[in-house]
A and B are shown apart, each in its own frame.
Chain A
Amino acid sequence: MIYYFVPDITIFGGIKVAYQFVDALNLLGVPAVIASPQGRAATWFLSHAAVVDAEAARDMFRTEDIAIFSLPHDYERLRNLPGKVFYHCMGTDPLIDPILKDPSVEVLTCWKQAQEYVLSHGVKRPFDVGISISPSFSYAGEPKYERAVAYMPRRGRELCESVMNTCSSVRYIKIDGMAENEVARVMKSCSIFLATAEDEWYGLPALEAMSSGCVVVSVPVIGGMEYLHNGINCRVAGLLDFTDVVNGLLSPESAFLRFRLRQSAIATSKNYTFTRMLNRISGLLNGPLSSLKKY
């Protein structure tokens, strides 16, 4: 049995990716469950993963079981479990270096930059299991309001406010504390999405916005640059010129540019479908991760 240990049920990308991974394993016939404090399930996105109490899971852990975790703080608690331990790398903070140096821990990665970091700092070759966008974000021609801008104020609030103060004739829609299907509905109705979180590891929301047909204006991020291609499928702008870029995109003369960026963004997002992720994991299960299947 595979137990994927998660720290809580809050609205945080790492939680969704964990459930997504367990869903994928289940669909491929691998027994896996989420192990969560008090057995509580995250309910802000769609999933069919089973959830068990994390403490009970640790207590009944057997040598043939596997523990997966993504929060570096869980390492100390899980490293001495009798079975195998996998670290699902979703950020490349130096905090993770001791995990990467532990030869008994296998490492899963979700994107290229993390893969490279693990290769340069770790002792084991990582397995890239990928990441995917929920189908609920898939844009199917829903009506868009060209002067509506979606943003997530949780990180980069000042930058959002700076844009709002400068471009006041636009409707801004705050995405905060919403369930996934509501986020998808908002993104599909908006023309532009502001990705303002500096030092973002990957930025799944920006990728989801691309899938929803938004033109993404993003600050430079760390791992997410693998899908953000400035001027091709989005605009990437530093803090100083971020507002100007948004202003420029909103002008009537930029209608064709918005259309072109939107089309490219949707095309890019097709590289991150759940089916593609399933195929990738299936390939690993039939190859280097075949040991997972016997559990």
Chain B
Amino acid sequence: MNTLCAIIVSRGLDEMLRFCLKSFFESADQLYDSVEVIIADNSSPRPYTESSLSERRIRVLRFDVQTRFAVACNRCVKECETEKLIFLNNDVFLDRSSLNKMLQNSCRAGIGVVGSWLYFPDGRVQHRGVVFGHGDIGPYHLSRGQFLDPRSPFEEYQAVTGACLMVNRSLFNQLGGFNESYQFGLEDIDFCLRVRQYGYRVVCANAGRPMHFESFTPGRVELDGPSRQLFLEHWRGKYTIDG
């Protein structure tokens, strides 16, 4: 049975989340036998309720204290039993073709993680894969902010963003999930690097025009610094340079 669970860590931004869910269900319903969503309500000032989200396939896990992304995601994964997981940010709007392409790629042998090209609302590229620069440059989004059209149906990278990341639940658990040491940010890159160490491929699919507003949650960007420092402490000199 073809089953998918979307895990969305969200704080406030009720309208954004509503559109995120709408686009997800519209895209997923025709591709999967069973679809569900687990929302980690990361101490929203006004808590989400399952009834207010008006969809019986949504479950809400409330965190009263603001919780690290990795911790919230790992906790959500324990709650679901589906074969495939997709981690989504609440400001990512998928479409059917992009989700379909991710699904196709995730079913191919040897592929561990599938990301997707994501676009800013004005059509510029937000994400097409993460590459790594020398020294303190570290990981960064390739072609971010450029107007660009994809040239191939998928590309292989060392990492993709966790804003839209599909993985088999068995592989996620095999690796122990996201590293919970990260405050907020780069746990996705850390995860992808570990996936590749097990010989699995990380690819970024492209189809349709999935949208990502990026870092809309208030206070989100301030947490990048400590995560980046931790990432470099852990991985500096242990990844190859491709950007």
Q: Which residues of A contact B (CB under 8 A)?
A: 1-2, 19, 26-27, 29-33, 39-43, 45-52, 179
What are 25 A-B interface contacts by the 8 Å CB criterion? A1-B198, A2-B199, A31-B110, A31-B199, A32-B199, A33-B197, A39-B238, A40-B237, A40-B238, A41-B238, A41-B240, A41-B241, A42-B240, A43-B237, A43-B241, A46-B240, A46-B241, A48-B157, A48-B242, A49-B240, A50-B193, A50-B197, A51-B238, A51-B240, A179-B134
> Which chain A residues lie closer than 8 Å to B200 at the CB level?
31
> Which chain B residues lie closer than 8 Å to A2 at the CB level?
199
When C-beta atoms are compared, the residue in chain A nearest to B158 turns out to be: A48
For the residues of A in contact with B, the DSSP-based class is loop
Instruction: Tell me whether A50 and B134 are in contact in the complex, defined as CB-CB below 8 angstroms, given that A26-B201, A41-B240, A43-B241 are known contacts.
Output: no
When C-beta atoms are compared, the residue in chain B nearest to A46 turns out to be: B242
When C-beta atoms are compared, the residue in chain A nearest to B131 turns out to be: A48
A70 CB to nearest chain B CB (Å): 17
Compute how far the CA of A29 lies from the CA of B199 in the bound complex, rounded to whole angstroms.
10
Q: Give which listed residue, A32, A39, A43, contacts B134 with CB less than 8 A.
A: A43
Compute how far the CA of A39 lies from the CA of B109 in the bound complex, rounded to whole angstroms.
26
Compute how far the CA of A39 lies from the CA of B157 in the bound complex, rounded to whole angstroms.
19
Is B14 at the interface (CB under 8 A from chain A)? no
CB < 8 Å A-B pair total: 57
List B28-78 residues whose CB lies under 8 Å from chain A.
Answer: none
Compute how far the CA of A273 lies from the CA of B238 in the bound complex, rounded to whole angstroms.
27
Q: Which residues of B contact A (CB under 8 A)?
A: 109-110, 134, 156-158, 193, 196-201, 237-242
Is A29 in contact with B109, judged by CB distance below 8 angstroms? yes
Compute how far the CA of A40 lies from the CA of B134 in the bound complex, rounded to whole angstroms.
14
When C-beta atoms are compared, the residue in chain A nearest to B195 turns out to be: A50
A231 CB to nearest chain B CB (Å): 38
Residue among A42, A45, A46, A48 with most chain B CB within 10 A: A48
Instruction: Tell me whether A41 and B134 are in contact in the complex, defined as CB-CB below 8 angstroms, given that A31-B199, A33-B197, A48-B158 are known contacts.
Output: no
> Which chain A residues lie closer than 8 Å to B157 at the CB level?
48
> Which chain B residues lie closer than 8 Å to A43 at the CB level?
134, 237, 240-241
A229 CB to nearest chain B CB (Å): 34
Is A47 in contact with B242, judged by CB distance below 8 angstroms? yes
When C-beta atoms are compared, the residue in chain B nearest to A9 turns out to be: B237
> Which chain A residues lie closer than 8 Å to B193 at the CB level?
50
> Which chain A residues lie closer than 8 Å to B196 at the CB level?
33, 50
Compute how far the CA of A5 lies from the CA of B210 in the bound complex, rounded to whole angstroms.
40
Compute how far the CA of A26 lies from the CA of B197 in the bound complex, rounded to whole angstroms.
12
Compute how far the CA of A220 lies from the CA of B168 in the bound complex, rounded to whole angstroms.
54
> Which chain A residues lie closer than 8 Å to B240 at the CB level?
19, 41-43, 46-51
A28 CB to nearest chain B CB (Å): 10
> Which chain A residues lie closer than 8 Å to B238 at the CB level?
39-41, 51
Compute how far the CA of A162 lies from the CA of B156 in the bound complex, rounded to whole angstroms.
47
Q: Give which listed residue, A1, A45, A51, contacts B199 with CB less than 8 A.
A: A1
Compute how far the CA of A32 lies from the CA of B134 in the bound complex, rounded to whole angstroms.
23
Q: Give which listed residue, B197, B198, B241, contacts A47 with CB less than 8 A.
A: B241
A261 CB to nearest chain B CB (Å): 33
Is B201 in contact with A29, judged by CB distance below 8 angstroms? yes
A138 CB to nearest chain B CB (Å): 17
Compute how far the CA of A26 lies from the CA of B202 in the bound complex, rounded to whole angstroms.
10
Compute how far the CA of A39 lies from the CA of B235 in the bound complex, rounded to whole angstroms.
10
When C-beta atoms are compared, the residue in chain A nearest to B242 turns out to be: A48
- Taking A26-B201, A33-B199, A50-B196 as given, write out 11 further A-B residue pairs in contact, using a Cβ cutoff of 8 Å, ordered by the A residue number: A1-B198, A27-B156, A41-B237, A46-B240, A47-B241, A49-B240, A51-B197, A51-B238, A51-B239, A51-B240, A179-B134
